[in-house]
Amino acid sequence: MHEISIVRNVFDTLQETYPEKFGRISKVQMEAGLLSNIQPILIQNAFEALIMEEPGLADIELEVVQLPIIAHCETCEKGFEVVRHKFVCACGTPSRKIVQGEELQISKVEFFGN
């Protein structure tokens, strides 16, 4: 289950980024694109497992927002959502230029007392 290592890496990154404020983190929001092969429920389950190892994380809320796949059309210069794996713009032009959907990132960190 690679989700546990992902969640562990997220919290290691937060520890490194906010060493003085790490203990005051109340909420972490992650964004996972549909093409990242990350399932929000599996990330939540991995976080629960990590809490068993590190009870100090129990007060933190973890939210995973799944982002749709957005591609860019070179013909009409617009972004469009890829639905059912059809990388074709409304104008009929196919496109492989993905502008959203592959990311896995920490998008927001909230702290107690703010």
Domains of the chain are 2-13+24-111 (3.30.2320.80)
> What are the pLDDT tens digits along the chain (114 aa)?
589 999 999 999 999 999 999 999 999 999 999 999 899 999 999 999 999 999 999 999 999 999 999 999 999 999 999 999 899 999 999 999 999 999 999 999 999 986
- Identify the pLDDT of residue 2: 83
Q: Is the distance from CB of 27 to CB of 60 less than 8 angstroms?
A: yes
CA atoms within 13 A on the CB side of 90: 7
Helix, coil or strand: residue 48? helix
pTM: 0.86
- Identify the pLDDT of residue 67: 96
